[in-house]
Every structure is written in structure tokens, then in C-alpha cells.
Amino acid sequence: MYNNFKNIEKVVYGRGAFDQMGDILEPVRKENDGFIVFVVDNYFRGKDLVDRIPTKAGDLIEFIDVDPYEPTTDQVDELRDYVLENLGMPAGIVGIGGGAIMDIAKATSLMFKNEGSSQLYQGLNLVKNPGIYHLGVPTISGTGAECSMTAVLTGPTKKLGLKCDWTVFNQVILDPELTASVPKNQWFYTGMDTYIHDIEAESGIFYNAFSKAYGDQSVQLCREIFLGDNAGQTPENDEKLMIASLFGGLSLTYSEVGACHALSYGLSKILGMKHGYANCIAFNHLEEFYGDAVNEFRQMVDMHKIDLPQNLSAEWTDEQVRQMAEVSYNLPHMWTHALGHDWKDKLTLEDIEKMFRRL
């Protein structure tokens, strides 16, 4: 069975593209109760960008602090319930922020049309009805959440996406100007999510020419941005990283992530570590899966003088390591990609615990 891939319906890309949002939303406003919900990263509260959001009477701007924790099922349920009880059914929802905000917008869009808690829909194709119109505006590049078919949420028992065709954005606005203010460490960690998506996509059984075409372009852009003669956080590289993120997301959607993301999910679920950072912590110690790419990654870390702590596991209890290994073990699609359909013959829970103890 091959992946029947649902792409984003519409994409606009370029400096200043943010200002096209008003025109884009105009026809959408005829739907449902006619208002738009904007979920905006709290970083932008009080900044000029907020004055450029094309609000009309009846719209809601909800600022959300995405630190220190990743989005939760409760958070999405509460936002949905608040809006339905107080304002009605929105015409659309717009997410302006990083992967966390985009995932909140994607998940909430679905939850407006699906009853009960979002916990019920964590998994593949569990969502029953299409959501409302949703538009994504990344303000930091790397996760690929702008194009992926998943909205990753942390619930009481799992960190897992609401994954289906309806999760994919109807529209994205890719405006590289918006990423200029990202702090350097965060620029690196989230940017590395792209590089790691590319490397993981190519390191497993689901890799194919579709995934390779996007992944090759994405990894080439990452090399220019993070290792090239003009490496660093420049306007030109912001433009490249936004496309690298999109292509990395497309590459992994038509392949799969592997061991690094499996460990990263354990770190995020049990320790609350942020996704890009957790990936970097894990990738640094996975030579047996990613070979020379780990050395290339370390060159990037050195070149940009990034803080990447070692020996974190010295602080973890046996219980925490066991819990992280369990989260990781319960991501069979990732291990299948990394090790093959017989991965359970090759990898035990104890092996995964050992991987965590290396970090």
C-alpha cells in the first residue's frame, strides 16, 4: 500500500506575503458564523505583527505561550469549548507561530467538528469529520508542520498526532521576514529538525524517489545555511530555511522518521523537552543509524557555538529511563522504517533504554 499523499491546498511564499492574508480570508468569511480565530505565539504580543493581522469585528485573537511545554490535548479542547460556548462556529482558524502553534491550529480546526476530547483522535485516521478551514503561518522554520498531515499533541498517556488528510492546512503563508527575530539557539534546534527529517527519511525502508527528490534539495539547503561560506542567520538563509523546512516535511511525509524521532518523543513526553532540542540531544549519539551525518551535525553545532549538553542521563532515574523507552518502543512505524518489518526481533526495550543512557 502506498501513501496517498494529501498536499497543502494553497501556498504563498515571499517576503511580505503575510499582508496577503486579508484577501485570502475574505471568501472564507462566508462560512459558519463568519468569524476567524487567530492563534498567535505569545512572543508576538505587543509587536508590530499583531497590527498587521487582518481582523474584523467578531474575530478572536488568542495569544498562546508555547513555553516551556508542547501543546496538550487539554489545551486544544479548552480552546474549542471556549469558542463554541461564547462565540459560535468559526469560519476558519489561523495559526501564526512555530510548530506548536501550527499544531494547535490544525488540531483545533478538527476538534470544532468532532465531538469529545482530542485524546480520542490521537492516531492515524481516527478523526470522523473534516474540520473547519485552517491557515498556517510559520514564524520559525524547521518542523515541517506547515505541510504535514499530523498535529502533534501530548495527552495524558501519549505524545501522538491527530493524523489524517483533513489535518493538512488549506493554506499556508510562507513569509521569511517573520523568522528574523528567532533567537539563535532556537533557530538552530528547530532548523536541525529539518536536517534530521531529511537524514531520517533517507535512512530506512520507506525511502523512495519521491522522498529523495525533496530530501536532497532540503539537505543541500541545510548545508548552505548551516555550513556554507555564508552560513548563519541571515535574511537570505531565512528564505532558504523556510523552503528547506517545507521540502524536509514533504520528504518525510513520503517516507518516515526513525530512531532519532522515536527517542525524541520519549524525551518530550517524559521530561517535557522541546522537539527540536530533544532531536539534537538524541541525534548526537546515534551513529549506528546515521553514520557520517552525525559528524556533519557536530560540525554545525561547533560552527554556530550551540549549547548541546552531554551526560544528561546521569540525572535521570531508572524509572524515567524505562518510561522514555516505553514511549519510544510504542512508535512501531518509526522502528519499522529504521530497522525493517522484523524490528522486534532486532530491538528490545532494554536496547532502547541503553540508547537513552548514552545521552
Q: What is the distance between the alpha carbons of residues 227 and 59, in angstroms, rounded to a whole number?
A: 43
User: What are the start-end ranges of the H helices in 16-62?
Assistant: 21-25, 48-51
Decide if residue 181 touches ligand NAD (CB under 6 A). Answer: yes
Q: Select the binding partner of residue 182 from Zn ion, ligand NAD, none (C-beta < 5 to 8 A, by kind).
A: ligand NAD
The footprint of Zn ion on residues 166-195 (CB under 5 A) is: 193
Task: Collect all residues with Cβ–Cβ distance below 8 Å to 155 and sequence separation of at least 6.
Answer: 72, 73, 118, 119, 122
Is the distance from CB of 165 to CB of 149 less than 8 angstroms? yes
70 binding Zn ion? (CB under 5 A): no
Residue nearest to Zn ion (CB): 193
- Name the segment binding ligand NAD (CB under 6 A); options: 112-120, 271-279, 284-292, 317-325: 271-279
Q: Does the footprint of Zn ion cover residue 103 (CB under 5 A)?
A: no
What would the x/- binding string for ligand NAD be over residues 2 to 41, using CB under 6 A?
---------------------------------------x
Q: Between 136 and 204, name the residue whose CB sits nearer to ligand NAD.
A: 136
| Contacted entry of Zn ion, ligand NAD, none for residue 119, CB cut-off 5 to 8 Å set by kind | none
Alpha helices by DSSP H, the chain: 21-25, 48-51, 73-86, 99-111, 184-202, 209-227, 235-253, 259-271, 275-283, 287-290, 292-303, 318-329, 332-339, 343-346, 349-358
| Nearer Cβ to ligand NAD (40/347) | 40
Cβ neighbour number for residue 50 with a 10 Å cutoff: 15
Nine-digit cell at 312? 544528561
Is residue 97 part of the contact set for ligand NAD (CB under 6 A)?
yes
115 phi and psi, to 5 degrees?
-75, 155
Q: Does 215 bind ligand NAD (CB under 6 A)?
A: no
DSSP, res 137: E
Q: At closest approach, how far in Å is the CB of 339 from ligand NAD?
A: 22
Is 192 an interacting residue with respect to ligand NAD (CB under 6 A)?
Answer: no
Which residues would be at the binding site for ligand NAD (CB under 6 A)? 41, 43, 66-67, 70-71, 97-101, 103, 139-140, 142-145, 148, 150-152, 178-179, 181-182, 186, 190, 193, 274-276
